[in-house]
């Protein structure tokens, strides 16, 4: 049964770096499962920065939508999923049923063997957004974090690049 | 002297659920003191969802403004106040003096006998809002959280549905 | 070698008060290094409120840009820097190279003798801002927090006026 870790935190809080360290502690080679899609130059640059930082021990996979399939296909080493919040955004933009996809993935986690470290964004600690879509996304992201956290073996809040143990 | 708990956290961070568990640990029946006012369909739906989740052991009271009166009138069982931030918003929208009302309520807490669990929102960890009213509200909400936390017996930050003990 | 503390948190989370207590524990007199510039009446009022709260044991210095010079010039007592995020904002508005200035300051910290308590803002836990400049600022603020936290002896997250130890 796979060991599941959730690392959540704000933007530029060092979540990805903490997650990379955590995954490499679990094994000499690892899979990096990127949910990001490079729509614009800002995102392309961000993806490139992350990729440069990671070393040759990483194999990169792209899973903007089919996260569960990718988790099953990479169950021979520890995995980093970076990040859940972008996956949610992709599902919502594609008008797919994120709730049933997320529940299906969570239900399948106990069947996996190798560790999974999920990175996730904390979006709910600012002023309530005026935009109803932003509110709906914020609410969905918070709900997804709760679902994963409930089933995770460890939950960590990243603060200024440092881990704060929540579970 | 009433045991006072503050549970703060972001939107959809599981604050209300943690608070409900906390209150029911303190007694077999409990009061749910709702500060929300159903102005629109989104809020009506949210209130209905929360109400459905709670069981028959709860008696619901509405206190959009008169929170202290309601706390005094329900001092025969544990209480959940959900939430302080909406109460503040109601006071500000009604152009009432929130500072003196809040100080009066806090000063009266030691005279209560049954536990009170306050739910509150963390609004201050995003980008500074452009809108001066949003900034003023955010500042007031942070100040009110500090006042309650200073006098509370326990303070908990809810992160992805899990409690992080602050006090 | 100076003892370095970072106190981060949201708006009105009680960071400055915690920092003031921390600095006065380290010595009977202290320097208050203000990075704020009073551009408008809201900021002027905020600065005045902070100044009134502090007592006569504080000597105030203004360092909107030249933070390292001010740290060197005040190395005869504990210092409070309030705050890093405004310093960053000042550097960016002046179109100065904040990254090299920050790295230079951090590299010089081990040469200081008296404690430095940095106050900083958490800006990254809300919805992603639409505005690219706001996103860039948020990212820079998060990065700066990580850099300081990595070298700090202590890191504290202020929640509702209470300290949550991160490091």
Per-residue pLDDT tens digits for A33-90: 999 877 777 777 777 777 777 888 899 999 999 999 999 999 999 999 999 999 999 9
**Residue A154 burial by CB count (10 A; 0-12/13-18/19+): exposed, middle or buried?**
middle
The single residue listed with the structure tokens 């809300």 is C126
- Torsions phi, psi of A54, nearest 5? -80, 145
The residue-averaged pLDDT of C109-114 equals 97
**Pairwise CA distance, residues B149 & A29, whole Å:** 46
Q: What is the pLDDT of residue B68?
A: 98
Q: What is the pLDDT of residue B113?
A: 97
CB atoms within 10 A of CB B55: 9
Which residues of chain B lie closer than 8 angstroms to A143, CB-CB? 12
C62 within 8 A of C98, measured Cβ to Cβ: no
Report yes or no for ipTM above 0.90: yes
Confidence tier at A98 by pLDDT (50, 70, 90): very high
B128 to C125: CB separation less than 8 angstroms, yes or no: no
pLDDT tens per residue across span A104-122: 999 999 999 999 999 999 9
The contacts of residue B117 (CB under 8 Å, 6+ apart) are B5, B6, B7, B19, B22, B23, B78, B79, B80, B81
pLDDT tens per residue across span B78-98: 999 999 999 999 999 999 999
Q: What is the pLDDT of residue C43?
A: 72
Which of A85, A124, A148, A153 should be substituted to probe chain B, the one whose Cβ sees the most B Cβ atoms within 10 Å? Answer: A124
B125 to A126: CB separation less than 8 angstroms, yes or no: yes
**Pairwise CA distance, residues B9 & B29, whole Å:** 25
Minimum-distance CB partner of A138 among B11, B122, B164:
B11
Confidence tier at C56 by pLDDT (50, 70, 90): confident
Nearest partner of C142 among A124, A17, A15, A13, judged by Cα:
A13
pLDDT tens per residue across span B123-152: 999 999 989 999 999 999 999 999 999 999
Q: Domains of chain C (ranges plus CATH)?
A: 4-165 (3.40.50.300)
Q: What is the pLDDT of residue A44?
A: 77
C140 is in an annotated binding site: no
Q: Which of A87-96, A133-142, B8-17, B37-46 has the lowest mean pLDDT?
A: B37-46
The single residue listed with the structure tokens 């904390």 is A122
Q: What is the pLDDT of residue B56?
A: 85
């Amino acid at each position: 049964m796979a060991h599941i870790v959730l690392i959540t935190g704000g933007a530029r809080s060092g979540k990805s770096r903490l997650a990379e360290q955590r995954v490499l502690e679990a094994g000499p080679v690892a899979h990096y499962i990127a949910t990001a899609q490079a729509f614009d130059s800002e995102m392309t640059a961000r993806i490139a920065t992350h990729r440069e930082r990671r070393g040759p021990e990483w194999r990169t996979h792209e899973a903007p939508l089919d996260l569960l399939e990718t988790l099953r296909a990479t169950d021979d080493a520890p995995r980093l999923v970076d990040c859940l919040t972008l996956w949610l955004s992709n599902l919502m933009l594609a008008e797919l049923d994120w709730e049933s996809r997320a529940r299906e993935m969570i239900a399948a986690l106990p069947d996996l063997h190798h560790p999974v470290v999920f990175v996730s964004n904390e979006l709910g600690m600012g002023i309530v957004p005026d935009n109803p879509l932003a509110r709906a996304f914020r609410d969905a992201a918070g709900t997804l974090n709760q679902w994963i956290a409930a089933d995770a073996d460890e939950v960590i809040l990243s603060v200024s690049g440092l881990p704060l143990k929540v579970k």
